[in-house]
């Protein structure tokens, strides 16, 4: 198989939901990321064979979002588009699919990524009203239609937004993480320190231009809107728990990733095509591992298995990794999985990650977490930083709702 290169990456600014990009749909955000990528990479849109694009908080009126992104962008109608939905690893799932198409020789150039507009989540109605409306639609006369609506109560008219609870367990990701940190004995103070470092690193990487270089400004928004420059450990410590409101609760709005609007896109090419195009790869996709576990073992503990398995299969160690990009769904989730790597959990222990290698530009707590866009953002950040440092190996670790996870290794050689 041919090696697959990460040639470029681009994203919109990541902003808090219901703020500066609230009037932009997921399709518009996705189109903007794709257009920015094509511009930054200097690639002919007609050369892109496939668009692999993801979306988690979907809209039933747009059943094939990736195709709509393609139609609204400068990509030609001949570009094949595929839509993905895989919770927080949607972006890496799209990247892996594009990798496979190129590695197996079916294509030479593809774009992968994802988009999310949490501000424009589809509004749902109650089951009673939904049933009544469906039955009413089958009738022909107005009287017959009204008969089906007689049982609807005023409370049934209240709009409902998509929930964040796991359908299989009835608990949210935050509630599951509260269970995890109690089991792994991860305290509030340690979680707040993860959050503080995320904001400090993201602020520094914004000031020196590293994060800004990834962004294609949109609607006069030039940078990420969630980085708290003025935060401190003392300020974080004052926040109240939001998932377990008892004295035992440790997860707060400060040490959890926020609801975010944004999109990201990554340009992938075969090694040969990159040479032919005169493009210097940022890095190559060396390997990846997806896992699924029982939520009872810890909903977001998948990286504790995925990373050791991947490193073992590639014949590499954690010490070989020059940089580690670990998705920060919650500060507690990061610490639980780091502990699993250090102590061993369902897989042999693989060691510790020096703090100077971990999330050196900040991560999801500070930058934001538009579910389907996070994978593309992390791969872009890691590939660019590896190239800047002329380092060899970088590790991607992303947990996901649904008790799944993805690990990926990027290589420069």
β-bridge pairing 323-326 and 4-11: unpaired
How many H-runs (helices) and E-runs (strands) does the chain carry?
Answer: 13, 10
| C-beta separation of 372 from 29 below 8 A | no
As given in the structure block, the two tokens for residue 359 are 């999330």
Contacts 24+ apart (CB under 8 A), 151-160: 152/128, 153/128, 155/126, 156/125, 156/126, 156/128, 156/129, 157/125, 157/126, 157/129, 158/126, 159/123, 159/124, 159/125, 160/123, 160/124, 160/125, 160/126
Out of 10, 32, 52, 88, which one is annotated catalytic? 88
As given in the structure block, the two tokens for residue 158 are 């209240």
Q: Is 369 annotated as catalytic?
A: yes
DSSP string for residues in 213-247: GGB--BTTB-S-S---TT--HHHHHTSPBSS--ST
Looking up tokens 């493009």 gives 279
Measured in residues, the chain has a length of: 413
* Rama region for 164: left / alpha / beta (φ>0; ψ in -120 to 50; rest): alpha
Out of 176, 336, 369, 406, which one is annotated catalytic? 369
Q: Any bridge partners for residue 83, and if so which? A: 53
- Among 254, 256, 298, 331, CA closest to 401: 298
Q: Is 88 annotated as catalytic?
A: yes
- Among 213, 304, 263, 307, CA closest to 91: 263
Out of 10, 336, 399, 406, which one is annotated catalytic? 399
Q: Is 52 annotated as catalytic?
A: no
Cβ partners under 8 Å of residue 33, min gap 6: 10, 11, 12, 113, 115, 216, 263, 264, 265, 373, 376
Write out the catalytic residue numbers: 88, 369, 399
């Amino acid at each position: 198989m041919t090696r697959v290169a990460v040639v470029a990456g681009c994203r919109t600014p990541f902003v808090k939901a219901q703020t500066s990009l609230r009037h932009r749909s997921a399709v518009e955000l996705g189109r903007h990321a794709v257009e920015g990528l094509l511009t930054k990479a200097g690639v002919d849109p007609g050369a892109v064979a496939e668009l692999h694009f993801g979306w988690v908080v979907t809209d039933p009126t747009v059943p094939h979002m990736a195709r709509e992104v393609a139609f609204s962008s400068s990509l030609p109608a001949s570009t094949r588009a595929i839509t993905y939905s895989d919770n927080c690893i949607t972006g890496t799932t799209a990247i892996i699919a594009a990798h496979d198409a190129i590695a197996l020789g079916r294509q030479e150039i593809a774009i992968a990524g994802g988009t999310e507009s949490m501000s424009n989540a589809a509004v749902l109605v109650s089951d009673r009203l939904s049933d009544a409306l469906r039955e009413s639609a089958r009738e022909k006369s107005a009287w017959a239609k009204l008969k089906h609506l007689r049982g609807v109560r005023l409370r049934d008219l209240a709009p409902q937004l998509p929930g964040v609870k796991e359908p299989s367990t009835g608990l949210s990701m935050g509630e599951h993480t509260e269970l995890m940190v109690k089991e792994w004995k991860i305290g509030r103070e340690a979680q707040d320190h993860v959050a503080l470092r995320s904001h400090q690193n993201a602020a520094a990487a914004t000031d020196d231009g590293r994060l800004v270089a990834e962004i294609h400004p949109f609607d006069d928004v030039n940078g990420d809107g969630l980085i708290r420059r003025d935060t401190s450990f003392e300020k974080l410590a004052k926040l109240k728990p939001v998932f377990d409101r008892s004295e035992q609760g440790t997860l707060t709005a400060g040490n959890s990733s926020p609801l975010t609007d944004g999109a990201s896109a990554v340009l992938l090419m075969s090694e040969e095509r990159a040479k032919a195009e005169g493009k210097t790869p940022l890095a190559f996709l060396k390997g990846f591992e997806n896992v699924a576990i029982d939520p009872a073992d810890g909903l977001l503990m998948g990286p504790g298995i995925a990373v050791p398995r991947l490193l073992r299969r590639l014949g590499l160690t954690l010490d070989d990794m020059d940089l580690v990009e670990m998705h920060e769904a919650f500060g507690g989730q990061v610490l639980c999985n780091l502990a699993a790597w250090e102590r061993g959990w369902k897989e042999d222990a693989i060691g510790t990650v020096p703090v100077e290698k971990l999330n050196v530009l900040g991560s999801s707590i500070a930058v934001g977490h538009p579910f389907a866009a996070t994978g593309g953002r992390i791969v872009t950040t890691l590939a660019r930083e590896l190239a800047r440092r002329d380092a060899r190996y970088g590790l991607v670790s992303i947990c996901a709702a649904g008790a799944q996870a993805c690990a990926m290794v990027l290589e420069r050689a």
